């Protein structure tokens, strides 16, 4: 708890602002739900300004305290839905009601709703902070413009002007995010803080416990999309000398699933792989079991603010193969350079996969053991306590408590 600023032994009234807290398969919404639940558990009064769930399922977090109508854009609705997003229509009366109640505001996205709330909060003297959850490229990738640097710079500048600069603090979930946004000349105080993962639920089994020792099980979990880049995993099989002994499981849902299935079918027809690629969707329990049975976990995302989905898998004891690039933070979890490849490069990925296969099962199991407990520094309960300190600073002032990396 903070020794300066607000007395956090008292309850804070915290307003979370998110377009749709209830979207399934959206890591941002899932992270917000976990944070809200833990803050409530710690005695704070947390309310939500959001659109209600379309299907009536409140995900165990409760209906929004300040409900907003869903924003529908007919021409873009299919694209928005396919990307796992949903938008709420800004309602000034509801926003003002929420701000009349709140001690502090937490903005979870960089969209129109958050811009409206940030402006009204500033005008009314209610302190606000934001979390940098997505890069502009996460959005523009869906329309094949993620490599248009000028467009992505414009989007980032708009976020700065209309959201971030109206806040007192900005949470950067990884050092790579901090490095990117620290060059923008932002008004808010920047701090590095993981969104965190829940601990527990790890068995004693470790990597590669399948029934066929001659089969190398490769697992990848994540939304099927251009920025997650599962296509590079499948392309890498064409360059792997062990492709016919590899069994690939891709777990997720998303807009590129049809293309990935077609790509996987071509690999089978061409004789590149012997076993068809398995497509599935996993809850947390199934993901844990699959991670424990796998030999390698591959995370190929080119655009990733933090990559906690990878950490969720690694902590169950599996050797990681992680992409490194200017817009992905996932390689921060690698304990050795032998588990890192160049993002978007199938030849680089194939070399790393083959190297781990050549080392043999015992070497992989020994390496997998090293990842047991790697999640401890990302414990969501610790992250929530650090977040409380920033809330306290926003409300009461004093010395800024947020962590910053060495320059």
In eight-state DSSP terms, residue 375 is G
> How much is the pLDDT for 83?
67
Residue range(s) in the chain whose domain bears CATH number 3.40.50.2000 = 13-196+379-396, 216-377
Most distant pair of Cα atoms in the chain: their distance: 66
> How much is the pLDDT for 201?
56
Region 13-196+379-396: CATH code: 3.40.50.2000
Handedness of CA 74, 75, 77, 80 (dihedral sign): negative
User: Can you give the pLDDT of all 407 residues of the chain as single tens digits?
Assistant: 333 445 555 799 999 999 999 987 788 999 999 999 999 999 999 999 999 998 888 999 999 999 999 998 777 777 677 666 789 999 999 999 999 999 999 999 999 999 999 999 999 999 999 999 999 999 999 889 999 999 999 999 999 999 999 999 999 999 999 999 999 999 999 999 999 998 865 444 545 555 556 899 999 999 999 999 999 999 999 999 999 999 999 999 999 999 999 999 999 999 999 999 999 999 888 999 999 999 999 999 999 999 998 998 998 889 999 999 999 999 999 999 999 999 999 999 999 999 999 999 999 999 999 998 788 889 999 999 999 999 999 999 889 998 877 65
> How much is the pLDDT for 4?
43
- Mark out the alpha helices in 56-171 (DSSP H runs): 77-82, 92-101, 112-124, 136-140, 149-162
Q: Which CATH class is domain 216-377?
A: alpha beta
Give dist(CA 174, CA 163) in Å, integer.
Answer: 20
Burial 330-361 (b: 16+ CB within 10 A, else e): bbbbbeeeebbbebbbbebbbbbbbebbeeee
Cβ atoms of 380 and 30 closer than 8 Å: no
H or E element that contains 181: helix 175-181
3-class DSSP state for residue 143?
helix
Closest CA to 118 of 76, 164, 170, 80: 164
> How much is the pLDDT for 2?
36
> How much is the pLDDT for 365?
93
First to last CA, the chain: 26
> How much is the pLDDT for 73?
79
> How much is the pLDDT for 407?
56
Note the pTM of the prediction, 2 decimals. Answer: 0.91
């Amino acid at each position: 708890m903070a020794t300066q600023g607000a007395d956090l032994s008292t309850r804070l009234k915290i307003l979370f602002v998110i377009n749709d807290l209830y979207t399934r398969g959206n890591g941002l919404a899932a992270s917000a739900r976990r944070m809200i639940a833990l803050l409530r558990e710690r005695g704070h009064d947390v309310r939500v300004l959001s659109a209600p769930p379309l299907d009536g399922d409140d995900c165990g977090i409760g209906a929004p305290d300040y409900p907003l109508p869903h924003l529908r854009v007919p021409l873009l609705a299919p694209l928005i839905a396919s990307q796992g997003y949903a938008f709420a229509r800004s309602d000034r009366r509801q926003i003002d009601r929420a701000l009349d109640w709140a001690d502090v505001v937490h903005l979870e996205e960089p969209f129109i709703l958050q811009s409206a709330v940030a402006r009204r909060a500033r005008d009314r003297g209610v302190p606000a902070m934001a979390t940098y959850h997505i890069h502009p490229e996460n959005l523009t990738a869906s329309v094949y413009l993620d490599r248009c640097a000028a467009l992505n710079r414009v989007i980032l500048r708009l976020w700065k002007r209309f959201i971030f600069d109206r806040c007192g603090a900005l949470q950067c979930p990884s050092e790579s995010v901090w490095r990117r946004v620290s060059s923008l000349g932002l008004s808010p105080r920047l701090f590095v803080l993981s969104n965190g993962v829940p601990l527990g639920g790890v068995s004693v089994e470790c990597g590669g416990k399948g029934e066929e020792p001659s089969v190398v099980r490769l697992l990848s979990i994540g939304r099927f999309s251009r920025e997650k880049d599962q296509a590079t995993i499948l392309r890498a099989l064409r360059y792997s000398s062990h492709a016919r002994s590899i069994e690939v499981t891709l777990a997720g849902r998303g807009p590129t699933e049809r293309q990935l299935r077609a790509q996987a079918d071509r690999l089978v027809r061409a004789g590149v792989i012997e076993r068809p690629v398995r497509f599935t969707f996993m809850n947390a329990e199934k993901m844990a079991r699959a991670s424990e049975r796998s030999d390698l976990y591959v995370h190929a995302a080119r655009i990733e603010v933090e990559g906690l989905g990878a950490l969720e898998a690694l902590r169950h004891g599996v050797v990681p193969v992680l992409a490194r690039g200017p817009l992905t933070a996932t390689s921060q979890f690698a304990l050795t350079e032998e588990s890192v490849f160049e993002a978007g490069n199938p030849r680089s990925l194939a070399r790393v996969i083959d190297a781990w296969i050549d080392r043999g099962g015992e070497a992989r199991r020994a390496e997998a053991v090293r990842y047991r407990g790697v999640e401890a520094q990302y414990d969501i309960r610790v992250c929530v306590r650090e977040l409380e300190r920033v809330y306290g600073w926003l409300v009461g002032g004093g010395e800024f408590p947020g962590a910053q990396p060495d320059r």
